[in-house]
């Protein structure tokens, strides 16, 4: 089968489009859009048996979304081990950078927020068992190397 050229590249979603989608799918989320940066906060609960978590998402049009857990705080496990798949600034590692898993053409409400819920689910299991069952590869970034 011959490959056809792609003449139209999908457009990046605007901050307003992201905001409308988040508030539509997650009505409890509150947001603020500055000229170039959007911030949302809301509560998610991975399963009825899990805790509820207040999260904060920041997104700049020329960057990638960043997610922090505001409360309850993400903590080391009983053995003093830092949670897997979390960056030094406590921003959650939700996808492999530079793989196209997340691009500016995708909705945060359909990717980042559900991925955060899955991360929190696996975090709770890890807190109990000490084993991360969520898979994934946490990249070592220059900013994390000592």
Q: Which domains does the chain have, with CATH numbers?
A: 15-130 (3.10.110)
Q: What is the mean pLDDT of residues 39-47?
A: 97
Residue 17 carries which DSSP code? H
Q: Tell me the percentage of the chain whose pLDDT exceeds 70.
A: 88
| Cβ neighbour number for residue 3 with a 10 Å cutoff | 5
Maximal C-alpha separation, the chain: 56
Give me the residue label for tokens 């929190």: 120
**Phi (first) and psi of residue 18, to 5 degrees:** -65, -45
DSSP 78-104: TT-PPPSSB-TTS-B--S-TTSSSS-T
Average pLDDT, the chain: 87
pLDDT over 50 at 142, yes or no: no
The pairing of beta strand 37-44 with beta strand 66-71 = unpaired
Which H or E run contains 60?
strand 53-60
pLDDT over 60 at 68, yes or no: yes
DSSP 106-132: S-GGGTHHHHHHHHHHHHHHHHHHS--
Question: From CA 58, how far away is CA 64, in angstroms rounded?
Answer: 9
Whether pTM exceeds 0.75: yes
| Cβ neighbour number for residue 13 with a 10 Å cutoff | 19
CB 110 within 8 A of CB 25: yes
């Amino acid at each position: 089968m011959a490959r056809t050229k792609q003449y139209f590249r999908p457009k990046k979603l605007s901050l307003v489009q992201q905001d409308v989608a988040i508030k539509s799918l997650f009505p409890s989320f509150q947001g603020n859009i500055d000229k170039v940066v959007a911030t949302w906060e809301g509560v998610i609960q991975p399963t009825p048996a899990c805790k509820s978590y207040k999260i904060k998402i920041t997104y700049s049009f020329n960057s990638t979304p960043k997610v922090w857990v505001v409360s309850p705080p993400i903590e080391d496990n009983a053995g003093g081990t830092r949670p897997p798949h979390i960056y030094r600034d406590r921003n959650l590692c939700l996808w492999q950078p530079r793989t196209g898993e997340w691009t500016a053409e995708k909705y945060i409400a359909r990717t980042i927020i559900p991925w955060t819920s899955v991360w929190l689910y696996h975090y709770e299991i890890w807190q109990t068992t000490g084993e991360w069952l969520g898979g994934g590869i946490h990249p070592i970034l220059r900013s994390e190397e000592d």
